[in-house]
Amino acid sequence: MRVVAITGTGGPEVLELTEVPDPTPGSDEVLIDVAAAGLNRADLLQTQGMHPPPPGAPDWPGLEVSGTIAELGPGVSDWAVGDRVCALLDGGGYAERAVAPVQALLPVPDQVDLVEAAGLPEAVCTVWSNLMGPGGMDPDRASGVPVLVHGGSGGVGTVAIQILNALGARVLTTAGGPERARRCTELGAEVAIDHRAEDFVARVHQATDGQGAKVILDVVGGAYLEQNLAALARHGHLVIIGLLKGRSAQIDLSKVMGNWHNIHGTLLRARPAHEKAEIVADVRKRAWSLVQQGTVRPVIHTRFGLDQAAAAQQQMADGEVFGKVLLVPSQT
């Protein structure tokens, strides 16, 4: 089968289409004929040599795929060949076929385009596990809770806006430029802030009568830490899931203590298999109905063929993507 291999350390130029033997599913695994693979920032970091795959994962990138089950491994009984699925992977999604543990599978509803479904697993699992875990939210008590989502135009952000809106939360978000901010409001954001021209701390306090956001989901990192804490409500939760603008910052801890702030940092790919299985199971139980109902949908910016993986990663690196970028093997 064809895969997109990483031939060195660097930018998208080190990606190369190559042939490897088809994988074989092991116990409690399935083999998926890949309809599409979703791109993530972690893929760019892996290409740069900064985010190696966990032990046992393929060397080529790709943390989420959609497709149909082609083969069942020993012990698999709850799935069948031909089932439409999407999956959270440790790696190996940039390929025509991929192996996934059954604990990482989510069913793709008939009304959801199978290719576009590749843009859901990583984002939904990231958003749900962080909001309902370190974010301290309860889906049954989310109505009216002000939540600030940074990067609302990204793959994670577009899903976060939709999930929070469906739960009745007050969604505030940041995006780069007025047009991207406008599109975030179309997805359900109550307040969309153009971070290139506006002070998001002031806008958050204006929208919350000076109280601040109860939860902040942050992909920016170090450059926003001080501002995030200024925008955070007392007893609020800041959940850092990305480091787009730095991994270090200096803050006044007395303010953290005085406001009873909770600061959390999380990763998804690096979690042990049993933790990821628990996340997928919780998503399927409590959040996946939003996808089945069409309330949460994948937002797709562009589709590329496997032989265009370098162009796909470059587009993501340029920072103007709205939603997800997909690799579609059938386009090559």
Sorted by where each starts, the structural domains of the chain and their CATH numbers stand as 2-120+298-331 (3.90.180.10), 124-265 (3.40.50.720)
pLDDT for the residue numbered 283: 98
- Tell how strand 300-304 and strand 262-265 pair up: unpaired
pLDDT for the residue numbered 124: 98
**Can you read off the two tokens belonging to residue 153?**
């135009």
Place of tokens 């074989």: 24
Q: Which amino acid is at 208?
A: T
pLDDT for the residue numbered 51: 86
Question: Dihedral through CA 202, CA 203, CA 207, CA 210, nearest 10?
Answer: -10
E-state strands within the chain: 2-6, 15-19, 29-38, 64-72, 84-88, 97-101, 105-107, 146-149, 170-175, 191-194, 213-218, 232-240, 262-265, 300-304, 324-327
Q: CA-to-CA distance for 276 and 22, rounded, in angstroms?
A: 25
The predicted model scores a pTM of 0.96
Degrees (nearest 5) of the Cα angle 294, 297, 301? 150
Q: CA-to-CA distance for 297 and 238, rounded, in angstroms?
A: 26
Burial of 236 (0-12, 13-18, 19+ CB in 10 A): buried
Q: CA-to-CA distance for 88 and 127, rounded, in angstroms?
A: 13
Q: CA-to-CA distance for 122 and 137, rounded, in angstroms?
A: 19
pLDDT less than 50: residues of the chain: none
pLDDT for the residue numbered 89: 97
CA distances from 14 to 5, 18, 53, 184, 324 (A): 8, 12, 17, 33, 22
Per DSSP, 239 falls in state E
Which SS3 state, helix, strand or coil, does residue 284 take?
helix
* Residue 182, number of CB atoms within 10 A of its CB: 13
**Can you read off the two tokens belonging to residue 133?**
């875990």
